[in-house]
Amino acid sequence: MQDPQHPVPADTALETVLVSITGTVQGVGYRHATVRRAHMLGVTGWVQNLLDGTVEALVQGTPDQVDHMLEWLRRGPPGAVVADITTRREYTDKRYICFEQV
């Protein structure tokens, strides 16, 4: 079982991806559902609404965890209509300890 304060061992290689999600993704519980899914998958990072109506997320985890999270972000929760997502790999030494809504 993973330690909730450090979901991935310190010596594990992590991927960090910045994601922009467009469509009907605000006012439908997208961020809250994203936090729940991230906790289920064990990824870390954050999610937030942007003023232009998009949702932005930073996802950090093992390649497999990140792939599963991106797959979910393409669909979103019931009520969301995802038009498109764009991803950009981030190169950082920072390790996030949780996933939160900001």
Q: List the structure tokens of 93.
A: 């030494």
Pick the CATH number of 19-101 from 3.30.360.10, 3.50.50.60, 3.30.70.100, 3.40.228.10: 3.30.70.100
Please write the tens of the pLDDT for every residue from 58-69. 999 999 999 999
What 3-state DSSP class applies to 82?
A: strand
Higher pLDDT residue, 5 or 18? 18
Could you say which of 31, 75, 88, 95 is catalytic? 31
Domain residue ranges of the chain, discontinuous segments joined by +: 19-101
The confidence score (pLDDT) of residue 52 equals 98
| Average pLDDT over all residues of the chain | 92
Could you say which of 36, 37, 49, 74 is catalytic? 49
Residue 79 region by backbone torsions, left for phi larger than 0, else alpha for psi between -120 and 50, else beta: left
Please write the tens of the pLDDT for every residue from 34-78. 999 999 999 999 999 999 999 999 999 999 999 999 999 999 999
Cβ atoms 12, 84 nearer than 8 A = no
Is 31 a known active-site residue? yes
Give this prediction's pTM.
Answer: 0.89
Q: Looking at the predicted structure, is the pLDDT value of residue 1 above 60?
A: no
Is 49 a known active-site residue? yes
Chain-centroid distance, C-alpha 69: 6
Q: List the structure tokens of 42.
A: 């064990």
